[in-house]
Structure 1
C-alpha cells in the first residue's frame, strides 16, 4: 500500500509546486510579454509578442520621463535605508539575544508589532512634521520613514539568528583575552555574515518597492523614486495610459532584484537555515 501511495504523493507534491510557481511567475511573464509588444498590440491576448518591439523601452528613457534619475534615487534611498537599518539592528539584535533584562519579550513583541501599522496612518503626521522641518523633496524624508519598517524587521530577523549561535563562542574568545566587544567584532560578526546578508537583501527589497511614502514626500521629478516615476508616466495624450511603458519600466525595476536573489541565493538560503541543525 505504501509503495502505491508514495508515487501518487510525489506526483501531487510536484503538481502543487508547479501550480505555485506558475501562480507566482505568471504576472511577471505577462509583464515581460506586454513590454515587448507594440503600442497598437498592447491588448493582444497571444502568449508571445508578435512582432517583438523595443519601443516601450525606448519610451521609458525619453528625456521627459526622468526614469534614469528615478532609478538612481531608488538605489540611494534603498541602499542608505539598508545600511542604516543593518548598522543599528545588528548591535540591537545582539543585545536582545544575549542580555537578560525585564520585559525583553514584551519589547520584542512591540518591535515586530510596530511594523503592522498601515503606512497611510503615519503619512499625514510625517508630512506635517517634515514640511515644518523643510524636508520635503529630500532623501531623508523617504529614508527616515522607511526605517520605521526596515529597522524592526531587521532586528527581529537578526535576534532570532543570534539566539541560535552558541554563547560558548564568546566565552572562549573572552577566555583568550578578548573583551565582549572584541568577541562580537572578531568572532560573532564573521559567523553571522549569512544571516546579516539575508536580512540586508530582505530589507533592500522592502525599501526598493516602497511607494506611498515616496509619493507623499516628493513632488519634484528629480527626487522621485522609480515606483513613483512609473505611476506618473504620461502617454501620447492627457488621457492616454502608457501601459507598454509602465510594463517596460516594471521589468527594469524588477530585474535587478531577481538577479540579486539569483546571484546570492546560496547565501540567502544559508542565512535562513543557519542554526536549524547543530
Structure 2
C-alpha cells in the first residue's frame, strides 16, 4: 500500500496559519490613526499648559508651539510664594484625610450592603448614589452660615466634612459592585477556620478587593484635590485655603496684567501628583472600573 504524501504547499499553509494564530489578528492601520488622534487630542491641552509655563514677558502673548526662550522663572516664582506652598500642604492634608476616611468608612458600608440581607437595600443604595448628583452650590451658603456659627469656618476640618459627603457615596457605589463579585465561600471558609467576621473581612475580602479600593482611593483623591466651589466658599485666608483657590487668586505685577505664566506653572505642578498616581495604579484602576462588567 503506497504511503500518503502531504503536499508541501499544504504544510506551508498550515505553518503560516499557526503563526498567524499565535500572533493574533493584525491591527488595521486606521485604528492606529484613530488612537494617535485621540492621544494628541487629550495631551495637547496639557502640552500647551507646559508651553505657557515656560514663557515669560512678551513670549506669553506668542502662539509658538515651542517656547522661543524657555525659562523656569515661573516655577521659581510660585515656590517662593508662601501662600502657594501653604495651599499645597493644605490640599495634601485635606485630600489624603478625605480619601483615607472615605475608603475606610465606605468599604464597611459597601460590604454591609453587598453581604447583609436587609429590606430596602437597593433603595438605600439608590439614595446614596443620588447624593453624588446633588449640586454643591445648593449647600455652599447654608454651610457657610453653619460653619461660621460653630467655629469651623476657615479650618481644614471644615473642608474635610463636606468633602466626605460627596466622597462616601462615590466610594460606596464603586465598592458595592466589587464586593459582590468576591465569592462568599471564601469568607465562610475563614469563619470555619476560627476567624471572626472582621478578620475574614480584613484578611480575605480586602486583599481580593485591592483593585476596587485603589480605584476608589484615586478617584476620591482626585475629586478632593480639584474641588473649588466649597474650598473658596468655606475659606478666607491661607490658613485653610487649598491649591485651586490659591491659583485663582494669583495676581500679576500690575493691575491689568493676567498672571498666565505663574498660573500655568502652578497648574502643571498640581497635576503632577495626579499623573503619577494614574501611571502607578493604572492596572488597578482599569480592573476596579471594569469589575462586574463581565461574568463567568
**TM-score (normalised: structure 1):** 0.92
What is residue 218 of structure 2 aligned with on the other side? 201
Is residue 161–residue 274 contact of structure 1 (8 Å, CA) maintained in 2? yes
Give the match's secondary structure for 2:251.
coil
CA distance in 2, matches of 1:194, 1:62: 39
The equivalent position to 1:123 in structure 2, one of 129, 133, 140, is: 140
Q: 1:156 to 1:186 in 2, by over 3 A?
A: same
Deviation at 1:274, TM superposition (A): 4.8
- Measured after TM superposition, the shift of residue 15 of structure 1 is 2.7
CA distance, structure 1, for counterparts of residue 155 and residue 40 of structure 2: 40
* 1:78/1:207 contact within 8 Å kept: yes
- 2:75 matches 1:57: yes
Pairing of 1:227-246 with structure 2 (within 5 A):
227-246=244-263
Query: Could you tell me which of 172, 175, 195 is aligned with 1:158?
Result: 175
Alpha-carbon distance in structure 2 between the residues aligned to 1:222 and 1:241: 25
Alignment partner of 1:90 is 2:145: no
Deviations 1:78-127 (Å, cap 9, x if unpaired)? 00000110111011000010112111111111111111011111101111
CA offsets, 1:213-262, max 9 Å, x none?
Answer: 11011111232111110000010012321011000000000011101211
Q: Does 1:148 align with 2:193?
A: no
Structure 1 counterpart of 2:53, from 35, 52, 70: 35
What SS does the corresponding residue of 1:178 show, helix, strand or coil? coil
2:193 & 2:275 partners in 1: Cα distance?
A: 44
Other-structure match for 1:26: 44
Q: Equivalents in 1 of 2:221, 2:50: separation in Å?
A: 23
Question: What residue ranges of structure 1 are gaps of 5+ in the alignment?
Answer: 1-5
Alignment match of 1:15 (pick from 13, 33, 36) = 33
- Between structure 1 and structure 2, the one with the greater Rg is 2
Give the C-alpha shift of residue 277 in structure 1: 5.9
Distance 2:169 2:191 in 1: 30
Deviation for aligned residue 1:57: 1.1
CA distance in 2, matches of 1:186, 1:161: 16
The size of the alignment, in residue pairs, is: 271
Q: TM-score, normalised to structure 2's length?
A: 0.87
**1:177 maps to what in 2?**
194
The answer for the alignment partner of 1:218 in structure 2 is 235
Residue in 2 aligned with 1:114?
131
Cα pair 1:194 1:268 within 8 Å, conserved: yes
For the Cα contact (< 8 Å) 2:55–2:67, is it kept in 1? yes
